[in-house]
Amino acid sequence: MIKDEYLVSNKSNNSSGGMVPIQFLQQLMAELIGTYLLMFTGFTSIVVNLGKDNILTFPGVAILWGLDVMVMVYTVGHISGAHFNPAVTIAFATCKKFAWKRVPAYICAQLFASTLASGTVRLAFGGEHYQSVGTLPAGSNVQSLLLEFVITFYLMFAVSGVSTDERATPELAGIAVGATVTVNSLLAGPISGASMNPARSLGPAIVSNCYTGIWVYIVGPIAGALAGCWVYNIVRLKDKPPSTETVNRNSSFRMRARMISSL
């Protein structure tokens, strides 16, 4: 799911401030691979749990999602920023922490990775339990929409805290974000599926050609992420709002990378 808005800029090596193409391609590849592995592991845990008499249990699946997020944040966060989530990418862009011109490529990578992971799981395990990897409202659409908004707000508020504030402890970022995903999954999983991520819901929907209630998992997470990012910005304001030129060099998801500036 989850997370940071930072990329590597070659501004210091190029007077025009342009982006080295190979660097951006590497970042996109890291985002795609990270999202794929995150989704594949999560989807597989759901199918295995159902196919093996609840061997993992619901709490076990929720914990696995959180651990998976933590691992991927530490693995590729310093390369791509570890967004894994269109809602996170859009939210960071609206807060001027990610260049808008990079947003379409990131979202395409995330959606492609989720769809590919969904297809892989369906190919590996067949269709008997595959439908379960999608997200469907257990109650009303409005109830699930509200839950998705709140839990994604919670996620984005936490992500903003550990990734954009120099006062945060960067080494604990993956743990904090992974724990947030686990908590949200335990709370909202039985009702909305605890998506928090449009790509997470769209991938299985595309593969299974089932779009029931899909708008809930697009509108809810994006609105929640926008609110979470902006509210944290208000809470953390000091002398002036953060901008693309104000770089948190201790960011949890990039560690040493610089934030990309808008061209």
Q: Which residue intervals of the chain are DSSP H helices? A: 21-51, 58-80, 86-94, 103-125, 141-164, 173-192, 198-208, 216-236
Show the CA angle centred on residue 260, arms to residues 22 and 232, nearest 5°: 140
Q: Does residue 251 surpass a pLDDT of 90? A: no
| Contact criterion met (CB below 8 Å) for 85 and 106 | no
Q: Rg for the chain (alpha carbons), in Å?
A: 18
Residues in the chain: 263
Percentage with pLDDT > 90 across the chain? 62
pLDDT in tens, 56-95: 999 999 999 999 999 999 999 989 989 999 999 999 999 9
Residue 255, token pair as written in the block: 């560690």
Q: Which token pair is 133?
A: 């990897």
The answer to whether residues 66 and 151 touch, using CB atoms and an 8 Å cutoff, is no
pLDDT tens digits, 2-30: 444 333 333 333 434 454 588 899 999 99
What the chain holds in terms of domains, given with CATH numbers, is 11-236 (1.20.1080.10)
Residue 221, number of CB atoms within 10 A of its CB: 32
Residues 200 and 198: their CA atoms lie apart, in Å, by: 5
Give the pLDDT score at 132: 76
Work out the angle at residue 67's Cα, subtended by the Cα atoms of residues 123 and 191, and round it to the nearest 5 degrees. Answer: 70
Please tell me the pTM assigned to this model.
0.82
Alpha-carbon distance of 87 to 162, in angstroms, equals 17
In terms of pLDDT, which residue wins out, 249 or 136?
A: 136
Q: Please give the pLDDT value at position 165.
A: 75
Question: pLDDT tens for residues 226-245?
Answer: 999 999 999 987 655 444 44
> CA dihedral defined by 133, 68, 26, 4, rounded to 10 degrees?
100
pLDDT tens-place string over residues 138-195:
989 999 999 999 999 999 999 999 887 777 777 888 999 999 999 999 999 999 999 9
Q: For residue 33, give the amino acid letter.
A: I
> What's the rounded Cα separation, in Å, for the pair 170 and 190?
32
Residues 99 and 261: beta-carbon distance below 8 Å: yes
- Return the structure tokens found at 145: 């929409």
Q: Which residue type sits at 2?
A: I
